């Protein structure tokens, strides 16, 4: 075989990091030699054909990075309320993962020799910081760790919560353990969320979303009202593997609070409640022109008893903005917000009844911050944080 794959990305790799193949060929001295890489999606459709010149020293391998080609195969449309997926507790990827393959060949003497060797793998909707990506091993996450850097978070009982996890294509996850504790740390309930998506051949099953808000678990799992009333925190875990602890917010809610859901760098959606008052503002942009009045003396219309509007607006655009303030933060929550600020997709939970709808809805917003300082309780004691967001639905007014 003329083509050799000397190194390849892991079988599961984030779509928005480098996906590099190092290849070489013993035919590099052929006239007009080029490497050929045909990239296919999981359905066998050709996505792109890429051609590369050999290295200056022909026998040296070259690196081919296909991440810009395959990243379009994933999407971030899987953030949903628990109630939307009811009665399911576990659903599959919803675009968060895709399979792909690359067929490597050669071209020389004007003839393409295709598919001399190939590689297949999976990409998930992650974009891991460079330093952490250098140490990333998919085996650390498959069936073990949830796609978040957190191990603990605070939620209200009524909040939606979702955990995402990569599922191996060789061994399926059988289920997820649920354990509820009272304020003294005593276990008062144990249960299991069965995984119904155990097919090893279905690509969508390579990434699972566990919907695990407390009220939603109460409705679907049916633990008794005494457990519900005494619960102080609960833990979701894989077996064996990592766990996520949800501390139930126990303070009196002086204000309704604003909950943000945001795409993290591993491809999961984290969430955070800003529990202090939110302040709304509006930014306006107008374009106007001046026209001559019918009554050039005073612009007054005595018949209708009004002055004529001589300054006319032909373009008015405005956007709504919100300043959110957190309650006192823990060190881990301060780190969590480090993921929120640069997140490319953020939703704000709104009460749709205020706008003529029903129930809760997710409204996309943009975090308008360029710098964020991570504080620590050891140095800064008690601290809060303010976040400025902008509603990404612009509004337009009438032209006159």
Residue 280: closest CA among 160, 337, 363? 363
Give bridge partners of residue 240 from the DSSP assignment: none
What is the pLDDT, as a whole number, of residue 99? Answer: 97
Question: How far is Cα 156 from Cα 187, in angstroms, rounded to an integer?
Answer: 19
Q: Name the pairing type of β-strands 243-248 and 233-237.
A: antiparallel
Question: How far is Cα 127 from Cα 265, in angstroms, rounded to an integer?
Answer: 5
Q: Name the pairing type of β-strands 12-14 and 233-237.
A: unpaired
270-296 pLDDT, tens digit each:
999 999 999 999 999 999 999 988 888
Question: How far is Cα 129 from Cα 123, in angstroms, rounded to an integer?
Answer: 16
Question: How far is Cα 58 from Cα 25, in angstroms, rounded to an integer?
Answer: 9
341-390 pLDDT, tens digit each:
999 999 999 999 999 999 999 999 999 988 888 888 888 888 889 999 99
Which residues 6+ apart lie within 8 Å of 82 measured at CB?
A: 160, 161, 162, 211, 212, 213, 216
Judge if the upstream peptide bond of residue 87 is cis by omega within 30 degrees of 0.
yes
Question: Quick check: 141 and 265 in contact, CB under 8 A?
Answer: no
Mean pLDDT of all residues in 63-83: 95
86-129 pLDDT, tens digit each:
999 999 988 999 999 999 999 999 999 999 999 999 999 999 99
What is the pLDDT, as a whole number, of residue 252? Answer: 78
Q: Domains, the chain, ranges and CATH?
A: 3-76+97-133 (2.60.40.1930), 276-325+328-400 (no CATH)
Dig out the tokens for 202 from the structure: 């279905």
Question: Quick check: 361 and 293 in contact, CB under 8 A?
Answer: no
Q: What is the DSSP letter of 400?
A: -
Which residues 6+ apart lie within 8 Å of 331 measured at CB?
A: 376, 377, 378
Question: How far is Cα 206 from Cα 167, in angstroms, rounded to an integer?
Answer: 5
Mean pLDDT of all residues in 48-67: 91
Question: How far is Cα 53 from Cα 35, in angstroms, rounded to an integer?
Answer: 6
Name the pLDDT band for 326 (thresholds 50, 70, 90).
Answer: very high
Question: Quick check: 100 and 73 in contact, CB under 8 A?
Answer: yes
Q: Is the pLDDT of residue 192 over 80?
A: yes
Strand order in the sheet with 207-211: 90-92, 207-211, 162-166
The CA dihedral of 231, 232, 238, 244, to the nearest 10 degrees, is 150
State the chain's mean pLDDT as an integer: 94
What is the pLDDT, as a whole number, of residue 375? Answer: 86
Residue 106 backbone dihedrals phi, psi, to 5 degrees: -140, 155
Residue 123 backbone dihedrals phi, psi, to 5 degrees: -120, 145
What is the pLDDT, as a whole number, of residue 164? Answer: 97
* Number of residues written out for the chain: 400
What is the pLDDT, as a whole number, of residue 180? Answer: 98
Question: How far is Cα 242 from Cα 236, in angstroms, rounded to an integer?
Answer: 9
The CA dihedral of 257, 181, 264, 327, to the nearest 10 degrees, is 30
Mean pLDDT of all residues in 14-18: 97
Question: How far is Cα 334 from Cα 340, in angstroms, rounded to an integer?
Answer: 10
């Amino acid at each position: 075989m003329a083509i050799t794959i000397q190194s390849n990305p892991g079988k599961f790799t984030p779509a928005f990091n480098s996906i590099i193949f190092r290849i070489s060929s013993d035919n590099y001295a052929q006239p007009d030699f080029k490497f050929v890489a045909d990239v296919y999606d999981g359905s066998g459709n050709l996505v792109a054909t890429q051609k590369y010149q050999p290295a200056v020293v022909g026998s040296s391998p070259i690196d081919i990075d296909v991440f810009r080609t395959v990243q379009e195969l994933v999407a971030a449309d899987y953030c949903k309320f628990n109630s939307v997926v009811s009665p399911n507790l576990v659903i599959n990827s919803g675009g968060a993962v895709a399979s792909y393959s690359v067929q490597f060949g050669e071209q020389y003497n004007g003839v393409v020799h295709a598919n001399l060797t190939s590689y297949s793998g999976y990409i998930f909707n992650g974009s891991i910081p460079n330093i952490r990506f250098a140490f990333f091993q998919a085996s650390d996450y498959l069936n073990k760790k949830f796609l978040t850097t957190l191990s603990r978070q605070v939620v209200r009982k009524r909040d939606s919560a979702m955990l995402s996890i990569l599922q191996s294509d060789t061994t399926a996850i059988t289920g997820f353990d649920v354990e509820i504790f009272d304020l003294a740390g005593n276990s008062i309930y144990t249960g299991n969320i069965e995984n119904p998506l155990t097919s090893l051949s279905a690509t969508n099953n390579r990434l699972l979303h566990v919907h695990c808000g407390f009220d939603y678990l109460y409705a679907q799992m049916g633990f008794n009202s005494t457990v519900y009333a005494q619960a102080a925190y609960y833990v979701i875990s894989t077996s064996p593997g990592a766990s996520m602890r949800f501390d139930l917010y126990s303070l009196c809610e002086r204000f309704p609070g604003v909950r943000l859901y945001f795409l993290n760098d591993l491809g999961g959606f984290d969430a955070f409640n800003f529990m202090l008052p939110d302040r709304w503002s509006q930014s306006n942009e107008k374009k106007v022109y001046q026209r001559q009045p019918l009554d050039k003396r005073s612009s007054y219309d005595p018949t209708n008893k009004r002055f004529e509007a001589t300054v006319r607006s032909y373009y008015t655009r405005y956007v709504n903005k919100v300043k959110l303030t957190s309650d006192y933060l823990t060190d881990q929550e301060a780190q969590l917000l480090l993921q929120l600020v640069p997140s490319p997709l953020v939703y704000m939970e709104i009460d749709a009844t205020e706008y003529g709808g029903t129930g809760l809805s997710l409204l996309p917003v943009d975090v308008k911050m360029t710098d964020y300082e991570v504080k620590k309780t050891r140095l800064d004691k008690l601290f809060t944080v303010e976040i400025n967001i902008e509603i990404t639905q612009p509004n337009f007014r009438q032209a006159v």
